Chain A
């Protein structure tokens, strides 16, 4: 059974601070995705990374995929209250199979 370790589980910061969320596995990913979820709604895809060493940017969010395709990180610069939510990493270990989710990071940004 593949396990996806995500940390930290909870993060409470002030507006303007930077933060990083980590996602690690002992197995190689086929692809990895980052989602954001609001209460009572389905997860919304932020980014998909498939190439080792890949870096993608989405406004203030920077996503990195480790060279060995076993880890990934999400960095948010100058966090804003609107960034508050549950962030989930999800990996596919074999093409065509289900996404396995990490435990999630609940982010709270206060003004």
Chain B
């Protein structure tokens, strides 16, 4: 089955540093990738929709200058948390939709990245 690889799985950084999270579709092309954020014991909150070759669309309340998203190819999207602060500590999850289907029935999730900002 289709696989989405997300790296790193866990990162600890100092306040003020930037962290990049990668999301790769390993055996399919993904024109659209989604980035979610999840706090402990809570659900996934959509942060942004990333379309290959164009600017990401951010959800209300998500700072685009804080969470930089790049989707430069059909198999890779990156989320960079800039100048991270402790309140940015969270579980970040990406998902990718297979280009061939255009349907959400073919939406695959990465394994998530636990970010801890000290």
Residues of A within 8 A of B (CB): 1, 6, 30-31, 33, 40-45, 48, 50, 86, 88, 90, 92, 95-104, 106
Chain B residue contacts of A106, Cβ below 8 A: 41
| Inter-chain pairs besides A50-B105, A103-B42, 10 sampled, C-beta below 8 Å | A6-B43, A31-B104, A33-B107, A40-B114, A42-B93, A42-B112, A86-B41, A96-B103, A97-B49, A99-B34
Q: A7 to nearest B CB, angstroms?
A: 13
Chain A residue contacts of B104, Cβ below 8 A: 30-31, 33, 48, 92, 95-97, 99
Contact B6 A42, beta carbon cutoff 8 Å: yes
Chain A residue contacts of B103, Cβ below 8 A: 31, 95-96
Total number of residue pairs linking A and B with CB closer than 8 Å:
63
Contact B105 A101, beta carbon cutoff 8 Å: no
Task: Give complex CA distance A95, B32 in Å.
Answer: 13
Chain A residue contacts of B34, Cβ below 8 A: 98-99
Task: Give complex CA distance A42, B49 in Å.
Answer: 18
Known: A31-B105, A98-B49. A43 touches B44 (CB 8 A): yes
Chain B residue contacts of A99, Cβ below 8 A: 34, 46, 95, 104, 107
